Amino acid sequence: MADPHFTDAESPDHPGWRRWSLSDPTRFNTLLGPLLFRMDGAFARVRMTPEHRHSNLSNHVHGGALLGFIDVSLFAAARGHGLIVAGTAVTLDLNTQFIGGGRIGEPIEAQVELLKETGRLLFLRGLVVQGEARIAAFSATIRKPSKA
């Protein structure tokens, strides 16, 4: 779905994945770095590679960076299902359980499942993994934008 707020193109370095980023480099999402995205059946898969700037003093991925990544992944999943475009959709709630520490310099992936869509709401859940390790589990509700 074309959207002037996002760059969405096949990734030449990662066959089968799309590179997904905001067109405006001054927005929060760009702090996460380049994101890769693809649909895999009912799941949206979103990847980032955490850098030193995403680390805590234990040299693991900072919880705040993980929460930001999870939040952005929810919207990538909703876009992947063709349910929203950029605009006024908002996160109503995000429940997260941190399970393990994420390593810096190795890709992490949010695997997001759409549980239900109603007239105004999307209910989602998922896992953040790094290889075989589970880093976090989450569930969330997004309110879709008003039809203007």
The per-residue pLDDT for range 88-133, each reduced to its tens digit, is 789 999 999 999 999 999 999 999 999 999 999 999 999 999 999 9
The overall pTM is greater than 0.85: yes
pLDDT digits (tens, 9 = 90+) for 71-86: 999 988 898 888 887 6
Element (H or E) spanning 69, and its range?
A: helix 63-80
* Residue 1 forms part of a structural domain: no
Distances (CA, A) of 30 to 82, 93, 147: 22, 22, 27
Supply the pLDDT for residue 1: 47
CATH of the domain at 86: 3.10.129.10
Q: Cα(14)–Cα(44) distance, rounded to whole angstroms?
A: 16
* Residue 148 forms part of a structural domain: no
Domain containing 131: what range? 6-143
- State the total domains in the chain: 1
Phi, psi of 45 (to 5 degrees): -115, 125
Is residue 146 helix, strand or coil?
coil
pLDDT digits (tens, 9 = 90+) for 8-66: 667 678 788 877 766 667 777 777 888 899 999 889 999 999 999 999 999 999 999 99
